[in-house]
Structures are given as structure tokens and as C-alpha cells.
Structure 1
């Protein structure tokens, strides 16, 4: 069954780079109109979508701020008239430090964007998707939402929180026509992993060594999982926290 999102509308947060950019492009390739959201002005993804002959807008938004998120959803509705899908992807890795050295500032910022941000997005997305009678929300967690990682206490806590929040929203929305799932990427070749490794050969080898497949994942591979979750092929799937990685979660 060929997936098509013609005449549908999707929001993708963190859509200017990495997994968000790949997912926004994937929605557009399937015919969806896309609201590309990020906290820094960047129209590259929108321009690429328009080059395909599809429709897209850029919305500047700090997902940790309720006024920004409310305005993001309102602009999407004003522009496209509806909302069918949301990929709540915006996130940061925060500052690396042991739990006892994690600063309150780092904790608040990381939790605010990674966890509060996803809650705020769903808070304003769900009522609009309900108007269509059905739709799908996919939240971006991480393999760090399923297992622990030394030196990233705020990030790991936030991503575990995303999994729990997703399952709760899935239960609440399941009989209302909205499916809610989470994707949990492994080590993916994105600007975030570049920052974590500093592009040092030793660090790259260390992270690559976590993946039995022997390489980093590609943003497009996560985008494919998100598109599947939003498609009718996944019509019986809700409350899932799906690991998309090379297998080290199972070790």
C-alpha cells in the first residue's frame, strides 16, 4: 500500500537540520504541506520543499515557551487550514557532566526543551488534530530514553520522560482517533552527534562501537520510521516507543 499524505498538513519541530529536516522532506515527498519549525531562522528546508513543488512555511519557535508553541500551531492552521500530523523533534543534548556536576541551568534548559517542549506541542496540537477526526503525533525520544548514559543526566531524564508522556497521551487519545508514538533513535549522523564527538576520531570510533551494525544511522532512516508511524500501515500502533538503532539497546 503506497503511503500518500496529499492534502494533509504536518508540523515538524527542529526541522532545519538533522532528523527534523529529513522528516520534513519525507512528509513533503509524500504530498503533505509542512510547517517547518525551529528556534533559529532558517529557510533551507522550506526552499527544498518548494523546489519539489510542494507547500511549506517556516515558523520560528522556542518550544519551551507556551506563547511560541501556541502561535506555532495557530500559524499552521491560519496558513493551511488544518493539522493532521506532528513530529515533535526539537531537542538539545545539553552539557555533558556527571549527575553531581550537572548545573541547575543545564537541567532546566534541557528538560524545558526536550520534555516540557513536547508536552506543550501536544497540548496545542491535539485539539486541532481532533477537528479532523483522526491524526498522528510522533515524539522524538532517544535510545537514551530506554537506557542510561553516563554524563548526560538531564538529557537521559528528559528522554525517559518523553517515553512516559507519549504512553500517557496515547492512552488518552486512542479512542479519540489520534495515535501517539515515540521514535527512539540510536547514534545518528547529525549536528548533535558532531557536537558530542567534537569530530575527534577517537570519539567517533567510541560511538560507532556502540552500534553492532558498525556505523552511525542516517537521518533519513529515522524519517522513514516516522512516516511509517504516521501512515495507515501503522493504523493499529499507538503508545509505542520504537528504538531505531543498530541494536545496542538490546545488549
Structure 2
């Protein structure tokens, strides 16, 4: 039910577009889903293993599922949840089909789900094969699957009124551009794979007017980094790596980059790995 607090979107940059955001229940994915809905989307399909936020840390309207926040703010059926294991091809395919059925088409695919916990850190000679495989499976294979089934849907539907068929935005990382000891080999390799997959798809599908870009966030205050941020020594050590200094980024600031890449403002943009990192990669 739509409550009395439902309001009109604050913008129209994504007016009437249908989008999927994976890893949408918390952190950056939640911020992206809410930012998209605020720009006039017809439907935001929120995909995750659980619809409830994994943590209240830095969470907007903590405790309320992302799709419910969207519906409260912008109207009934503006957001839906589809439980999805993004490492399983049949589930990702079903997710894309569910979005196309509910929204009439699919315009934007955000492959954001991923992991990066401290349990996956460590030097290569100390890392188990199971850790490597798990991180690559969740952070890289899932993006391949999202791109695969989104591209299939884009190719089989009429172009958007702009003449373009679809927009893919993958979540990479500054560690997908440079190496860093803090996050370890598996995480860096998995995000590096996302960056190069993004560029390859951009080149291969440009003739079909399908955009593929990725965002490379720096150190953000999200549930995924909660332990690091709340450890004063670790927070200080990471802060010194960024020209911005003692301030970590907010998910809401990074989400604005996703809005841009999904909008007509980026009509001639594809194959970009966009750092939003307080100047980290400029060093």
C-alpha cells in the first residue's frame, strides 16, 4: 500500500526506465536503487539474497527493505524484490525475465553484488584456493552472468525511445585499477576482471547501442567496510592513502555516478571505468 508520504521524484533523468540493481539490500546497492527511483524510474527491481539490510550501519531508513522505501516514497509497485543468487545462471536469467515481465522491458542493469570482507584478505602464499574461488565467483562470475542475460534481453527487445538498447553499469573498485595490500589478491583480481569485462562488452556491443561502463568506488562507509571503519587504527591507515584525507566516501555520493552513466547525459559514453575515490587513483 502507498502511504500518505508518497511523493513525486526529485528528477527525471531516468524517467520511465526499468532497472535492476543487484546487491540492493544495503550499502552502495541500496543507495543506487534509491537514487534511481528518485530520478523517475518506472520500476526498480531490487535483487539480493535477503531483502532486509545486512546492517543498520550508515543505512538510510535502517531496517526497512529497499523496495519498501521506494514504494513509500514514489508509489505502489515502483519497487519490487526478487531473491537472487547472482552466482547461479538460472537465477540471474529468471531475474532479468521477471524485470522484463513486470516492467514491460529492461533498460538498465546494475551488477553491484559483491563481497570484500577481511576474511578474504591476506598474501597470496597464505590464501586458500577456496577463498580465491569464492571471491572470484561472487565478484566476477556474477557480473558476467548479469551482462550475459541483460545483453540477451536488450537484443531481443525494441530499442529505447532514445534509440539505445540498454545500459549496463558494473561495480568494480579502485582495486580493479591498481593493486593494494589492504584488500588482497583475490579482491583485486576479481575487480580487475570486472573492469576489463566492462571494456570488452562495451566494444563488442557498441554497434548494437548497448552501453557498458563500470564505477570504481574508493573507500566508502558501508556495511561491507563497517569493521574497518570502526577500527580506529585501520580507519586512520586507510584514510592516509586518499588525498581527501580523513573523510571516507558516502554511498549516496557514489550513486550519483551511476545515475549519470544510466542517463541520456552519458549518451556517448561506453567502456569507461569511472573512479569515484576522493582522488586515490590520481596519485
Question: What's the TM-score, normalizing by structure 1?
Answer: 0.95
**Cross-structure match for 1:49:** 70
Is 2:222 the counterpart of 1:212?
Answer: no
After TM superposition, list the pairs within 5 Å mapping 1:146-165 onto structure 2.
Answer: 146-150=177-181, 152-165=184-197
**Cross-structure match for 2:106:** 83
CA-CA distance at 1:48 after TM superposition: 0.5
Distance 1:6 1:227 in 2: 11
Is 2:64 the counterpart of 1:64?
Answer: no
After TM superposition, list the pairs within 5 Å mapping 1:27-38 onto structure 2.
Answer: 27-32=36-41, 33-38=43-48
Q: 1:168 to 1:244 in 2, by over 3 A?
A: same
After TM superposition, list the pairs within 5 Å mapping 1:11-30 onto structure 2.
Answer: 11-30=20-39
After TM superposition, list the pairs within 5 Å mapping 1:128-207 onto structure 2.
Answer: 128-130=153-155, 131-133=157-159, 134-150=165-181, 152-195=184-227, 197=228, 199-207=230-238
Whether the 8 Å CA contact 2:51–2:65 is kept in 1: the answer is no
* Superimposed CA distance per residue, residues 211-250 of structure 1 (whole angstroms, 9 cap, x where no aligned partner): 2112101101111001001111111110000111111222
CA-CA distance at 1:207 after TM superposition: 1.4
Q: 1:222 to 1:132 in 2, by over 3 A?
A: farther
Whether the 8 Å CA contact 1:9–1:82 is kept in 2: the answer is yes
**Cross-structure match for 1:223:** 255
- For the aligned residue pairs, the C-alpha RMSD in angstroms reads 1.4
CA-CA distance at 1:4 after TM superposition: 2.6
* Superimposed CA distance per residue, residues 80-130 of structure 1 (whole angstroms, 9 cap, x where no aligned partner): 121000111000015111111111111111100110000000110112123
Greater C-alpha Rg: 2
- DSSP-derived class of the 2:40 partner: coil
**Structure 1 stretches of 4+ moved >6 Å:** none
**Cross-structure match for 2:131:** 106
Whether the 8 Å CA contact 2:135–2:187 is kept in 1: the answer is yes
Whether the 8 Å CA contact 2:171–2:214 is kept in 1: the answer is yes
CA-CA distance at 1:198 after TM superposition: 6.3
Whether the 8 Å CA contact 2:140–2:190 is kept in 1: the answer is yes
Whether the 8 Å CA contact 1:62–1:69 is kept in 2: the answer is yes
Distance 2:218 2:19 in 1: 24
Distance 1:249 1:135 in 2: 29
Distance 1:3 1:76 in 2: 20
Q: 1:74 aligned to 97, 108, 119, which one?
A: 97
CA-CA distance at 1:70 after TM superposition: 1.1
Distance 1:23 1:164 in 2: 22
* Superimposed CA distance per residue, residues 123-174 of structure 1 (whole angstroms, 9 cap, x where no aligned partner): 1011212314222110000000000012511100000000110000001111
Is 2:269 the counterpart of 1:237?
Answer: yes
**Cross-structure match for 1:10:** 19
